[in-house]
């Protein structure tokens, strides 16, 4: 196989507590999915004994890291962001080789990655996530005096994070799970995705160097390489690990959930897994913007070769001439769309298998077919069609195809839409394309969708997630393992915290966020009323 020369002096080893650590369990290579060629260097895989050294270092780092003063804590996140940014073109070039993603997409993803780290630095400085509540003693209260009770949230402990295949930067080594866990005060042991080992090494070095330069315990961050079936499972079992962050397939996510639940001390697994993101197109919107909507649908469907967790895999279109015209427009546009290189040969193979399975279902027809791509692992985009009764009677039609494939479901009435929505599994998003004239038809859907999804969108498309304070990137199973959480935005920090109450503890023994003089100048809730230190 052709071999591409290495970039950025890659070492090809895990980084355990700041040290390059050659693995003792064989090697693997990144693969250029456009050519099938191996990328140098070879990456050494660690043993379970070497993994134990990483988790032990994380446990050693925990006590000092969880009580880190806010300014130093925020500075660490900002330095990590600056170091990742400084990797610049080397990082983007390596990620492009390992994933087949275009450099423009990766440039935007790099900005999102560093932006997330800086956003969490601001969260750390503000301190509201610490959840400080104080009920001062009331010794004269009758019939029973009230003790002094103070509450704060503390980090859970070391966290295992698994890199995602489809976001080599924003959901990987320094991505949302790592950033939110570090912001919570949890050391991270990061298992690199074997599809982009060089990208992971470059970013892992940036984080490890930030910890070193700011004088933190090196166990705050480790990067490891190994098979998911052995090292990944061992990581989830390790008693030092207190939570898991994962983005990937339903089968891998549920396997980690089972492992974590079977431990002597079960731990939470925050897994983002499977979603087909239904889009509901209403009559009035269709009449006024059919051509534009068809173009936007095809663009959303085919972007990044459909390898986005918010890809519109399901579109409800009304029966009638306007719906027919929309489908014709989609057919014309998709016929000109070429397949793009997918992230790995395995993902491309799985996409083709999913397309074949959907095409073989009774009551399903091919609506539109694109063109096979010019590189390896670039299947043609596909759109299929069916009706609501068929959709509701066949669970195969709800299965995610990770790629540029979608199902158009034709509906007759608002009642059919509500019934279809009620029959669906949990999703990350649902989208309503409508005008004011459509509001009476759309209104009954809202309460149904609230129970099915994490984010409801009007007059947009689900692809694209704005990282901020109000965003929710989660949803009921199987979209995620815990519908109460989000993996994107500042609320993601809550996954790695738990409350502790301190009753009648002398002021000198209290942790700093709870002391009378409020040395960290935190916003606190005193007697139920929000109070800010002068």
Reported confidence tier of residue 533, pLDDT bands at 50, 70, 90: low
How many distinct structural domains can be found in the chain?
2
Reported confidence tier of residue 229, pLDDT bands at 50, 70, 90: confident
| pLDDT tens-place string over residues 372-427 | 999 889 999 999 999 999 999 999 999 999 999 999 999 999 999 999 999 999 99
- One domain, residues 255 and 377: no
Q: Give the C-alpha separation, 309 to 471, whole Å.
A: 15
User: Degrees (nearest 5) of the Cα angle 296, 302, 304?
Assistant: 120
| pLDDT tens-place string over residues 332-341 | 999 999 999 9
- One domain, residues 320 and 357: yes
User: Is residue 204 assigned to a domain?
Assistant: yes
- One domain, residues 319 and 227: no
- One domain, residues 262 and 306: no
DSSP label at 478?
T
The residue annotated as part of the active site, out of 272, 351, 400, 416, is 272
User: Is residue 504 assigned to a domain?
Assistant: no
- One domain, residues 361 and 246: no
- One domain, residues 259 and 296: no
User: Is residue 346 assigned to a domain?
Assistant: yes
Alpha helix (H) residue ranges in 2-102: 48-66, 70-99
Cβ 346 vs Cβ 249: under 8 Å: no
User: Is residue 377 assigned to a domain?
Assistant: yes
Cβ 95 vs Cβ 195: under 8 Å: no
* DSSP secondary structure letters along 515-533: STT-TT--EEEETTEEEE-
- One domain, residues 365 and 282: yes
User: Is residue 468 assigned to a domain?
Assistant: no
User: Is residue 122 assigned to a domain?
Assistant: yes
How much is the pLDDT for 6?
A: 41
For residues 20-39, give the mean pLDDT.
95
How much is the pLDDT for 376?
A: 84
For residues 148-162, give the mean pLDDT.
98
Query: Active site includes 186?
Result: no
Radius of gyration of the chain (CA): 25
User: Is residue 503 assigned to a domain?
Assistant: no
- One domain, residues 265 and 291: no
- One domain, residues 297 and 390: yes
| pLDDT tens-place string over residues 468-493 | 999 999 999 999 999 999 999 999 99
How much is the pLDDT for 8?
A: 56
- One domain, residues 292 and 321: yes
Dihedral sign for Cα atoms in the order 433, 435, 440, 441: negative
- One domain, residues 335 and 411: yes
| Three-state DSSP class for residue 317 | strand
Written as six digits, the tokens of 342 are 């997918």
| pLDDT tens-place string over residues 262-311 | 999 999 999 999 999 999 999 999 998 888 999 999 999 999 999 999 99
For residues 243-255, give the mean pLDDT.
96
How much is the pLDDT for 5?
A: 37
The residue annotated as part of the active site, out of 109, 186, 309, 400, is 309
Query: Active site includes 309?
Result: yes
How much is the pLDDT for 375?
A: 87
Q: Is the peptide bond before 143 cis (omega within 30 degrees of 0)?
A: yes
Which positions ≥6 away from 322 have C-beta within 8 Å?
283, 286, 287, 290
Res. 534: pLDDT tops 70: no
What CATH number is associated with residue 241?
A: 3.40.605.10
Written as six digits, the tokens of 345 are 């040969």
Its domain, for residue 367, covers 278-458
How much is the pLDDT for 225?
A: 98
Written as six digits, the tokens of 102 are 């275009």
Residue whose structure tokens are 């015209």: 325
What CATH number is associated with residue 299?
A: 3.40.309.10
How much is the pLDDT for 81?
A: 98
Res. 4: pLDDT tops 70: no
Partnered with residue 173 across adjacent β-strands are: none
Among 68, 73, 57, 150, smallest CA distance to 117 is for 73
Pair type for strands 405-411 and 314-318:
parallel
Mean pLDDT of the chain: 95
Give this prediction's pTM: 0.95
- One domain, residues 162 and 293: no
User: Is residue 179 assigned to a domain?
Assistant: yes
């Amino acid at each position: 196989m052709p071999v591409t020369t290495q970039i950025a002096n890659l070492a090809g080893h895990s980084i355990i507590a700041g040290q390059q650590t050659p693995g003792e369990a064989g090697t693997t290579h990144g693969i250029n999915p456009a050519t099938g060629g191996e990328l140098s260097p070879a990456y050494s895989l660690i043993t379970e004994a070497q993994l134990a050294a990483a988790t032990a270092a994380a446990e050693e780092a925990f006590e000092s890291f969880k009580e880190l003063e806010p300014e130093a804590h925020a500075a660490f996140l900002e330095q990590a962001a600056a170091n990742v940014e400084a990797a610049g073109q080397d990082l983007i070039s390596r990620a492009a080789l390992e994933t087949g993603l275009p450099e423009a997409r990766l440039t935007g993803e790099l900005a999102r990655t560093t932006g997330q780290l800086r956003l969490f630095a601001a969260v750390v400085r503000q301190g509201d996530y610490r959840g400080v509540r104080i009920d001062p003693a009331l010794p004269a209260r009758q019939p029973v005096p009230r003790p002094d009770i103070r509450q704060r949230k503390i980090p859970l402990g070391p966290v295992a994070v698994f890199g995602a295949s489809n976001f080599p930067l924003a959901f990987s080594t320094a991505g949302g799970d790592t950033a939110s866990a570090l912001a919570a005060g949890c050391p991270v042991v990061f298992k690199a995705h074997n599809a982009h080992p060089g990208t992971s090494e470059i970013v892992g070095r940036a984080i490890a160097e930030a910890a070193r330069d700011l004088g933190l315990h090196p166990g705050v961050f480790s990067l490891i390489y190994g098979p998911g079936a052995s090292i990944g499972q061992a990581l989830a079992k390790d008693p030092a690990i207190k939570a898991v962050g994962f983005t990937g397939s339903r089968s891998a996510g549920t396997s980690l959930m089972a492992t974590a639940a079977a431990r002597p001390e079960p731990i939470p697994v925050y897994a983002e897994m499977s979603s087909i993101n239904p889009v509901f197109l209403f009559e009035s919107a269709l009449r006024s913007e059919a051509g534009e909507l068809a173009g936007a649908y095809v663009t959303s469907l085919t972007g990044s070769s459909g390898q986005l967790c918010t890809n519109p895999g399901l579109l409800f279109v009304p029966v009638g001439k306007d719906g027919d015209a929309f489908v014709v427009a989609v057919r014309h546009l998709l016929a000109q769309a070429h397949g793009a290189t997918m992230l790995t040969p395995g993902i491309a193979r799985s996409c083709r298998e999913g397309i074949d399975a959907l095409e073989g279902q009774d009551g399903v027809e091919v609506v539109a077919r694109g063109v096979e791509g010019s590189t390896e692992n670039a299947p043609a985009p596909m759109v299929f069609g069916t009706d609501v009764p068929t959709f509701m009677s066949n669970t195969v039609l709800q299965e995610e195809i990770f790629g540029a494939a979608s199902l158009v479901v034709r509906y007759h009435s608002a009642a059919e839409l509500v019934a279809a929505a009620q029959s669906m599994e949990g999703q990350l998003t649902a989208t309503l394309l409508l005008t004011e004239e459509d509001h009476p038809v759309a209104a009954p859907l809202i309460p149904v969708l609230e129970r099915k999804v994490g984010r409801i969108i009007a007059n947009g498309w689900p692809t694209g997630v704005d990282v901020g304070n109000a965003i929710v990137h989660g949803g009921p199973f199987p979209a995620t393992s815990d519908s109460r959480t989000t993996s994107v935005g500042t609320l993601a920090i809550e996954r790695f915290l738990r409350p502790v109450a301190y009753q009648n503890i002398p002021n000198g023994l209290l942790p700093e966020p709870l002391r009378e003089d409020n040395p960290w100048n935190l916003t606190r809730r005193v007697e139920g009323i929000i109070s800010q230190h002068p």
